[in-house]
Structure 1
């Protein structure tokens, strides 16, 4: 391949990269954790993959990945579910960022959030991890918090129940009725970030109903 061909190829690759977003749903692997509150980020990843008609497959990085486009001519989504446990999410996310040569500002991390009421979605870039070990490890692996976060509210545990136990339990029967709408809202939020930017998405999802 001559120099001109290489430059053309590089421009083509760069244009694809410029239109690619990495969306990671945090959670724990294994059937025993699949339906727990801590895995709600992966519920959202499943919803997004379904919307774009993609299937999760094993990957060269330690994650399962589904790829597709957000509508004809739209941005490319790389949707990932790390194979690691929550508190070691940073390694898989860092590997994905390097594999796809993406800047951190095109990374969206979807995760459960105790400090937000159940059935609520909030969006932010960076910020403190608030004791969330998955976010803490991702931030460390990416040298800071420049990535965008879709925070899916699961609320605080009732009474004196320990937070660590609470997040590893399944949603209550009453909550399960609302979970599909919560997951759909969070998936909508990811799409809004990708298509319209964080500020516009925040204005939509942070405004009173």
Structure 2
């Protein structure tokens, strides 16, 4: 994809070159996240990435985003842009139902002290080689409901706090916690079975 085709001819070639470098560094991660959100729908994922890059480029032109930011900050900004675009589309397509969850896939919940961020040990697959889990993780995420998948991506992949996730999705933090706990349990069981089969763990 070539987001630079949308640029005005009179705009700074230096800005375009710097942004093109930024986009090329982040594009693989952006596309991976978009595919997770879209359950592997390549055309839809490509559209989200293109839209996110265009919006980021406009933000750079208008001085709302600094191209001198660190790679981590830039990547985080673009990933959040993609997720926010997905959330906006999701809201247009279906009204969020706080009672809908992944009960048809798994059961369980979470009790104990309220957490504000995910602990690394809670994240499914965190103790295994990421490269070995790419395909099964994508398949497992795709099996989750759209609402549950979105929460997992926001908290466990983008590392947003529970509070921020709840505010963005406009649901109680308890809904985020229960949704996340059940989704994690399903993912953990599936990934463990895969790892045992491949002798990646005991």
Q: Which TM-score bucket, shorter chain as reference?
A: 0.3 to 0.5
- Scaled by the length of structure 1, the TM-score of the pair is 0.31
Structure number with higher strand proportion: 1
Bigger Rg, which one: 2
Higher helix share: 2
